[in-house]
Structures are given as structure tokens and as C-alpha cells.
């Protein structure tokens, strides 16, 4: 493009919105023109988010104006209520919520307990996991960025399922840092409640399971059965997903590992590791670290990501890069934090 892409971030002071602002402000092909958010409206962004050098005023509006891309880091249903207007104004919408991840409005109502505000747009959306939907994203005007749990889970399960090497009955144990719950304070993320403690939740069925099932069914060509249990752990960033996959008869560890190595090969943000990865190794980056292990005839696949980058804002920027023909890694050459 001859001039930078004009970018606005809606919901700019939440954790995902902050990451979007940081990435857009540093992106060589983007111009961050607007930051929008109700709770700090009227303040300079750097005053509301002290780690930022962005001096734009925070606007109490969701009007698109001249933005060519809107990164929407808003609560569920809010983006859906505004997306049609944003699209009509000519903006490409990169939505970080769950509003457009499902193509079935009835399934959305079941899992989210409310009728979808814009069901007609569901068929237009493209699921923003680049490694699975790169070609479709090249012409997408409405991108549904996957959740952080689904990102790690799909990267753990899709290679084996797509190659037909594992059974369609999948078990995933996943653990998340507290930032995945968002910035709004609550008892469930209070320091004294979560520190030095780990607990499972959503045991009866986490709402992100619906998008996982839709994607896994599409990639496998069959009806997948998924048992998914998330856990909250006392760290700020990170997702670690461990998938237990039963190989079909005759499939060896070597064959399955080769499929995962092949899946990661050539992908700028997938890294196959010789040992199960730790979340610390990918903190602050858009990298997903993948390992395919083996125990008594069962494949044990682990994936580590940063939930705010590859699990949210970084994935959105990656999809935006594909959409507008930039180098896929542009603006995402982020150095990890170690130790």
C-alpha cells in the first residue's frame, strides 16, 4: 500500500485492546488513528495505560469515521451490534470477541444464552486462525479472531485429525493465566483467591468448546467428540494445552510426529520443539510452540502460546497482514521475555 493503513482500536484499555494498540502503534504499515473506550474517555491513552507512549485521546464512541481497519476488543455482543455499520463504512473488522466465530446462530444462542444480534453476518465471517484459513483470509472483511483456548487446542489437535492419524474422540486439558479473564476486577481473579492455587472450571462445558467443535469437525471431515477442561493458574500470561489423542490402528509415534513437524514447517509462528514447551518460552510473542509426545500408545500433544498475543491481538494482526498483503510477520517480530 502506498500509505499506511488507518487503524482504530475499540475497547482499547482492556488487556487485549492494550495489546492491539501496542502492536498497531509499532506496525510499519499501520497508522493508529483512534483509540476508543468508555471507562477512560477523554484521557490521553498513555495516562490510562502507563506503559504506553501513545498520546491519542481516548474517544467515547464506536463510530468508524475514516478507519480502514477496526480491531474490536469489546465484550461479547457489542461488536456484533456495530459490525454492519463498520462494514458499510468500508472498514475491515478484526473482532476479538466470540461474536462471529460460530456460523450457526442457534449454536451461539445455546452457548452464550442470547440470540445473536446480527445473524446475517455469521456466514460472512472468516475464522482468523491463519494456519488453517490463510487463503480465505486474503479477501475477508470480517475476521473472527479465535479465543486463546481454541487457538492452542486447535493447533494441538488439527494436524493429527486432518491427516486422519488419530481417532475423533479427543481430550484436552488446558491452563490459562489470569489475564485471560480480562481487566475488569472480580472475586474469581482476586489475588488472594488465585495465588498459590489452581482450579478447574467449566467442567460441564466451556462456552469456547462450541467453536473448537465446529473447527475440528471441519478439519477432520467427521463428527468429533471433545472433552475439554480449562484451569486457571496463578500467572499473568500464557496458555498451555495438552491434548490426548488416540492414534488409529497402525499409526506410530514417528508417523504422528512427522505430521506435526510438517504442519509447523514453513509457518512463521509455529515452532516444533523437541521437548514439551513451557509458556515462558513464548511469553510476549506470537509464537505457538508445539510438541508431539507419546505414552503407552497414546499421543500427548502440548501447545504453549501467549494468550494476549497469539491467543488474541497478535493473531488479529497476523490475519490483518494476510488480508492486506503485508508480510505475515510484519510488526510481529517480537522478542520473548526470558527469564
Mind telling me the catalytic residues? Answer: 148
- List CB contacts of 323: < 8 A, sequence separation 6 or more: 92, 137, 138, 139, 140, 143
Distance between CA atoms of residues 103 and 126, nearest Å = 9
- List CB contacts of 296: < 8 A, sequence separation 6 or more: none
Q: In what order do the strands lie in the sheet with 69-72?
A: 58-59, 30-36, 5-10, 69-72, 92-95, 142-144, 126-127
Q: What is the DSSP string of 24-51?
A: HHH-TTEEEEEEE-STTTTSBHHHHSTT
Q: In what order do the strands lie in the sheet with 288-295?
A: 199-200, 225-232, 166-176, 239-247, 298-305, 288-295, 270-272
Strands 166-176 and 239-247: antiparallel
Distance between CA atoms of residues 134 and 269, nearest Å = 13
Amino acid at each position: 500500500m502506498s500509505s499506511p493503513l488507518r487503524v482504530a482500536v475499540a475497547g482499547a484499555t482492556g488487556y487485549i485492546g492494550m495489546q492491539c494498540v501496542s502492536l498497531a502503534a509499532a506496525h510499519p504499515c499501520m497508522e493508529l488513528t483512534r483509540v476508543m473506550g468508555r471507562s477512560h474517555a477523554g484521557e490521553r491513552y498513555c495516562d490510562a495505560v502507563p506503559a504506553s507512549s501513545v498520546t491519542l485521546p481516548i474517544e467515547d464512541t464506536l463510530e468508524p469515521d475514516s478507519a480502514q481497519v477496526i480491531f474490536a476488543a469489546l465484550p461479547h455482543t457489542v461488536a456484533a451490534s456495530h459490525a454492519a455499520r463498520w462494514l458499510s463504512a468500508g472498514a475491515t473488522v478484526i473482532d476479538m470477541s466470540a461474536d462471529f466465530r460460530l456460523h450457526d446462530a442457534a449454536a451461539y444462542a445455546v452457548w452464550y444464552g442470547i440470540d445473536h444480534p446480527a445473524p446475517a453476518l455469521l456466514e460472512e465471517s472468516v475464522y482468523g486462525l491463519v494456519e488453517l484459513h490463510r487463503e480465505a483470509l486474503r479477501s475477508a472483511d470480517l475476521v473472527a479472531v479465535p479465543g486463546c483456548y481454541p487457538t492452542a487446542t486447535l493447533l494441538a489437535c488439527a494436524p493429527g485429525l486432518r491427516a486422519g492419524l488419530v481417532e475423533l474422540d479427543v481430550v484436552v486439558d488446558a491452563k490459562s493465566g489470569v489475564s485471560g479473564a480480562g481487566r475488569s476486577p472480580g472475586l474469581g481473579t482476586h489475588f488472594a483467591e488465585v495465588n498459590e492455587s489452581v482450579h478447574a472450571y467449566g467442567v460441564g462445558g466451556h462456552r469456547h468448546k462450541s467453536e473448537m467443535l465446529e473447527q475440528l469437525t471441519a478439519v477432520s471431515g467427521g463428527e468429533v467428540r471433545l472433552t475439554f477442561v480449562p484451569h486457571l493458574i496463578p500467572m499473568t500470561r500464557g496458555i498451555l494445552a495438552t491434548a490426548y489423542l488416540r492414534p488409529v490402528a497402525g499409526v506410530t509415534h514417528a508417523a504422528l510426529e512427522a505430521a506435526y513437524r510438517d504442519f509447523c514447517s514453513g509457518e512463521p509462528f509455529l515452532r516444533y520443539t523437541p521437548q514439551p514447551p513451557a509458556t515462558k518460552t513464548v511469553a510476549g510473542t506470537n509464537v505457538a510452540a508445539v510438541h508431539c509426545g507419546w505414552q503407552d500408545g497414546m499421543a500427548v500433544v502440548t501447545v504453549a502460546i501467549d494468550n494476549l498475543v497469539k491467543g488474541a491481538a497478535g493473531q488479529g494482526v497476523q490475519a490483518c497482514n494476510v488480508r492486506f498483503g503485508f508480510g505475515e510477520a510484519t510488526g510481529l517480530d517480537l522478542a520473548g521475555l526470558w527469564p
